[in-house]
Structure 1
């Protein structure tokens, strides 16, 4: 990149997030970096998201059908003019200096293909205890993974336009795991970092079932990629954390076995549960220091369910991978659908 200040295109994919969209857009309008163009890609919202964006004077590209976040990001790029692309989800509010810091990091290192933000441990909108759990859990897992990663965090990420053009669009076939695929492709050619220097707040899921369902689906959908690579992503989804999830599932599976074995088998589920706890012991210590023992009990119970959802999703994914050739080819390039300008409207 040259010594001038490159135009930054901020692309905000949105689907029915009117509640947080205003906070997201106002945060982008308050960025210390200039010049910025701000674009909302509304993906068929049925709420008043478009009205929110227009009231703030933000340009909107609307799709006639729901494309998913991958397609919305690709469509945003098709309308962007900037040398730097910043993708920010509509439930994320960036700190005022976030874009400036990210652009500076990209300018300092031509080998750096993407800079990803770490969200604060407090949610953007405090709606429930589940959301407080998720904010702390997500923060700890990301903060402890700070540095080089192979797992893209697209909720707030900056990358040069030339890198996007070289790597290609997000895979629109993938609705739950497009970021893992994109990070894998990007890090074949460039470095990628997760940094607390680029800060933001996220309006996390506030309903337990919604969170568990999302994590189950993600665990299932990532099996073909991890089977193909034969290793976990660098940072965040580590073998240690995967082991904790599997141990939680083993603890549940061991209960009927223990009943058959009698008193001698009672130790099996207890041992599996202990392994699951030890796998995330650092996280539990962090939560204890921050919120105290009473919240930790609640946190531990929810995290056990989260581990079960993740492990259950992986187990379902393995079964599907064994039975479905199409599922095994989910991440192959010939399945990608390129972005189309058909059926869009610009305002």
Structure 2
């Protein structure tokens, strides 16, 4: 009987000691028997290293300086011995069958070069409505993308054969918010990438509204050169966190019209908001079905804030792209392999 392939699980970490313990405990409970777990700590200032070392079968590496998750993942990939690499963020606790299921998907079709997993609808630590919204929305976003995907990768749960990673890696060390777009483009040019909710984990997203909004803004802004340098201008609007933001941006832009020209003009932003809500009607029905009406109203308000933040991020990114040659070259290949 053939031996099961060794899977190297690479966990980049920075100051996530509490949830890192949950992440590593979940890896000890995987049904796949041949597992190598590598934690790459990015110079944490909490007790993350002690937490990782408390698991006797975990290899603990450290970055020389605080350098971001891309550098940490690259260090882990270089040290890995497995036939399969599985990148798992330190704030994700995989379901017990996640590794085994990812391998089964890879084995199901030789054209599949990587498998992306999904988040559970419930956060790993359920202590914030903001966190709850972020997890549920991302679950939905990945759920409707199930099947073959192009371009963007979900980097939090990603399984890929080591031989393929040798072709498409490494992670761009200059990117810490949009590295999935960079690797995803190289990967999907050569192989099929499968998104599936059968590979799932609970995720501890941002509980703080300010931090969550800032991340949305930053991720949107840094995607601008990725799209514009590839002449995919439509992607600026349709990617990032949502594909339906334009109507909400127009509603915000026209909101002052009633103050300037009279109450009758309130119809225009109201209609635009209705268009925005209707464009994601399937998502809101899903949320209503599993969480009820009051939560759905909160979810819609959060989603509006996120969409408006994306609009600001697009504007800031366009300005930066026009003014900064360095920003325009953010995704240049030579920066990745240098």
Q: Do the aligned partners of 1:241 and 1:279 also contact (CA within 8 Å) in 2?
A: no
Q: SS of the residue aligned with 2:282?
A: helix
Matches within 5 A, 1:61-210: 61-150=61-150, 151-210=152-211
Matches within 5 A, 1:3-82: 4-57=3-56, 58-82=58-82
Separation of aligned partners in 2, 1:233 and 1:214: 22
Give the structure-2-normalised TM-score: 0.94
Hey, what does 1:303 align to over in structure 2? 303
Q: Structure 1: any 5+ residue segments left out of the alignment?
A: 339-347
What do you get for the CA RMSD once the two structures are aligned? 2.0
Are 2:258 and 1:258 aligned?
yes
Q: Do the aligned partners of 2:63 and 2:75 also contact (CA within 8 Å) in 1?
A: no
Separation of aligned partners in 2, 1:225 and 1:31: 36
Q: Do the aligned partners of 1:123 and 1:132 also contact (CA within 8 Å) in 2?
A: yes
Cα deviation for residue 4 of structure 1 reads: 4.2
Separation of aligned partners in 2, 1:59 and 1:239: 36
Separation of aligned partners in 1, 2:2 and 2:109: 13
Separation of aligned partners in 2, 1:304 and 1:209: 15
Separation of aligned partners in 2, 1:181 and 1:233: 17
Cα deviation for residue 315 of structure 1 reads: 1.5
Give the structure-1-normalised TM-score: 0.91
Q: How many residues align?
A: 335
Q: Of the two structures, which has the highest relative contact order with CA contacts closer than 8 Å and spacing of 6 or more?
A: 1
1:41-98 deviation digits (Å, cap 9, x = unpaired):
0001000111111111121001231110000000001111111000000000111111
Separation of aligned partners in 1, 2:66 and 2:239: 35
Cα deviation for residue 161 of structure 1 reads: 0.4
Q: Do the aligned partners of 1:68 and 1:175 also contact (CA within 8 Å) in 2?
A: yes
Q: Do the aligned partners of 1:32 and 1:97 also contact (CA within 8 Å) in 2?
A: yes
Of residues 115-124 and 262-271 in structure 1, the stretch that sits farther from structure 2 once superposed is 262-271
Q: 1:239 to 1:28 in 2, by over 3 A?
A: closer
Of residues 62-71 and 225-234 in structure 1, the stretch that sits farther from structure 2 once superposed is 225-234
